[in-house]
Each structure stands twice: as structure tokens, then as C-alpha cells.
């Protein structure tokens, strides 16, 4: 037997004798993790294109479950009083703050999605800056979407109804759907084409109407390792290509709880219009009963998500 064959046999024997690699621990159940009485807080370093320049800012994503009224589309104080109307939702509040010269922008998108299948029930946008304020609300019921927008700016206030196409995806949903909180949104290498409604945040800054278009969402075959201010993460990568030419990349943490580690929107072509496109990197993450932390000194908890207190 030649020396190479002997070495090969030895390697095989060593491999056979080695203990098997430990299996990756399964995710805890959705209810065990998300009904623990706390909210997930994720801080981000934000970059956004506004008025032809890149602006630096910060973002915070707050995820929490709560009882919701299916008929009134508001949080229920006591769901036991109307059990037939109560539905459990996962709420996402995504806050973005950034400076444009002398004045600042403060925006928040609130998304309410059922925890059973993450179907959206309501989405609201608030946007305030020194020129004025805008509020938009989308309410979804069955195959109908009702839009109400109140704006300081001429010609932007409106109320109308849109049909919801089968399988339609609202851009803001991606921050929940791509996390795969009950099961992966797509298998590795998989893709999906669907009707698509651009984010209320993007439409506000780009002055676009709420119109259904199409989107193609792909999950790359191989995971990647990314480094952000919060650390090093193994991520699954989703690429989102919209009909209007934008391309989004979402890096989703492979391990539980599958947080959005990084996202970035870019135009399809070099030199394309970038107004309203943003990117962000995770600066820190924690789980807290944040609604109780409103006393003097509680701002120190912002350090857990990599952000410091700012007085506006």
C-alpha cells in the first residue's frame, strides 16, 4: 500500500472516530420569545439621500407584540372585553432622524401585522420637519386598502381606496417578512415575484403616489459575514429589485432572533436618482420594557443599542 493510501486511511479513521459536530439549536417558538413582555430595540447608523446630498442620522426599530382591535385598528387596553375583535399583532415602529442643513427630519413608520401570518392590518407614517408635517395612514381589510393622507403641502392631502392584489407586499413589511420569525421567507437560492407598494417613507421623500407595481425578491444561495458597529454577524442576504429601478439589499442575522443587521437601497443604474434612498448598519440591540424607562437618567439605556441621547 502506497504512503498516500495509508495517509488517506488514517484520515478516514480519525474522521470516523471524531464526535459529530453539535447540531444547531432550534429557534425558540415565536410565542416563547415574542410574548415575554418586552420589546426588541435595534439601533442603526443611518445614511439617507436628501436634496442631492447624503445625510447622516440614526434609526431605531422597535418590535413588540400587543393586542389590537380588528375593527377599530387601535391598540386594545383590555382585549378580554371584546375577545371576538381582538387580534395579536407584531408592531414595528421604525424611527428615522437626520439633519438637512439648519433643520432636521423626524419620521416614524408604524406597521401592525398579525402574528399568525404577518399579514398587515395598518400602516401609518408621520413626517415632521421645519417646513411642515405629513401624516399618512393605510388600513387593510380583506382585498381593500384605504389611504388617508393629511399634508401641510398643497396637492398632497387625499383619501382614496385601492384594491389589494393577491400576494401583494408593502415595502415596509420587508422588515418583518425577511426575518423569517416563524419560518424562512425563502429557501436559499429561492426567489419570488409579487405585486409591490413602495414604502410610505420613500414615497414621502421622493413625492411618489401610492401605486401597486411589481417586485422580485431573491435570497442568495450562500450566507455572508458582515461587520457592522454592533459586531460581526453571519447573515442571509436578500436582494429586492423593484419595477421603478431601485435595488435593496437586506442582511438578516442567520441565528435567532434573525435581526436586520444591515439594509441598503440603491438605484439600478449608476448616476440614477437617489432621493429618499437610505442605508443603515446595526449599532446595538437589546430587549427591554422601554415604556417603563421614562425617568431621569433612563436615557443611559440608549447605550445598549449603540446610541446616545440627543436633545432636539
Residues 118-158 pLDDT 10s: 999 999 999 999 999 999 999 999 999 999 999 999 988 99
| pLDDT of 271 over the 70 cut | no
Band (pLDDT 50/70/90 cuts) for residue 274 is: confident
Identify whether the C-beta of residue 162 lies closer than 8 Å to the C-beta of residue 147: yes
Specify the residue for cell string 405585486.
Answer: 195
CA 295 to chain centre: 28
As a whole number of angstroms, the distance between CA 249 and CA 278 comes to 11
273 Cβ contact partners less than 8 Å away, ≥ 6 residues apart: 206, 267
Residue spans of the domains in the chain: they are 28-305
pLDDT of 21 over the 50 cut? no
Residue 272's SS3 state is coil
Q: What is the pLDDT of residue 27?
A: 87
- Residues 44-89 have pLDDT tens digits of 999 999 999 999 999 999 999 999 999 999 999 999 999 999 999 9
Angle (CA) 250 208 219, round 5°? 20
Bridge-based pairing of strands 278-288 and 260-267 is antiparallel
What's residue 312's pLDDT?
A: 61
205: Cβ contacts below 8 Å, ≥ 6 apart: 48, 50, 275, 276
Amino acid at each position: 500500500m502506497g504512503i498516500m493510501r495509508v495517509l488517506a486511511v488514517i484520515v478516514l479513521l480519525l474522521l470516523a472516530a471524531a464526535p459529530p459536530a453539535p447540531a444547531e439549536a432550534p429557534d425558540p417558538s415565536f410565542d416563547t420569545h415574542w410574548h415575554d413582555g418586552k420589546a426588541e430595540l435595534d439601533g442603526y447608523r443611518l445614511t439617507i439621500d436628501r436634496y442631492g446630498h447624503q445625510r447622516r442620522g440614526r434609526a431605531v426599530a422597535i418590535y413588540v407584540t400587543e393586542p389590537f382591535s380588528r375593527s377599530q385598528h387601535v391598540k386594545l387596553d383590555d382585549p378580554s372585553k371584546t375577545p371576538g375583535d381582538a387580534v395579536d399583532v407584531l408592531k414595528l415602529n421604525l424611527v428615522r432622524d437626520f439633519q438637512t442643513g439648519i433643520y432636521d427630519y423626524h419620521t416614524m413608520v408604524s406597521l401592525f401585522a398579525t402574528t399568525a401570518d404577518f399579514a398587515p392590518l395598518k400602516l401609518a407614517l408621520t413626517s415632521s420637519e421645519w417646513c411642515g408635517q405629513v401624516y399618512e395612514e393605510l388600513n387593510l381589510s380583506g382585498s381593500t386598502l384605504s389611504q388617508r393622507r393629511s399634508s401641510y403641502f398643497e396637492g398632497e392631502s387625499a383619501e382614496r381606496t385601492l384594491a389589494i392584489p393577491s400576494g401583494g407586499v408593502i415595502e415596509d413589511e420587508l422588515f418583518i417578512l425577511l426575518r423569517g420569525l416563524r419560518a424562512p421567507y425563502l429557501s436559499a437560492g429561492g426567489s419570488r415575484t409579487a405585486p409591490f407598494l413602495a414604502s410610505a417613507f420613500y414615497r414621502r421623500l421622493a413625492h411618489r403616489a401610492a401605486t401597486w407595481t411589481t417586485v422580485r425578491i431573491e435570497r442568495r444561495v450562500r450566507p455572508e459575514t458582515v461587520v457592522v458597529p454592533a459586531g460581526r454577524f453571519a447573515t442571509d442576504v436578500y436582494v429586492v429589485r423593484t419595477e421603478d429601478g431601485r435595488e435593496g439589499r437586506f442582511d438578516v442575522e442567520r441565528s435567532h432572533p434573525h435581526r436586520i443587521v444591515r439594509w441598503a437601497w440603491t438605484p439600478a443604474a449608476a448616476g440614477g436618482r437617489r432621493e429618499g434612498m437610505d442605508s443603515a448598519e446595526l449599532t446595538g440591540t437589546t430587549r427591554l420594557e422601554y415604556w417603563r424607562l421614562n425617568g431621569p437618567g433612563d436615557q443611559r439605556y440608549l447605550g445598549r443599542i449603540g446610541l446616545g441621547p440627543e436633545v432636539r
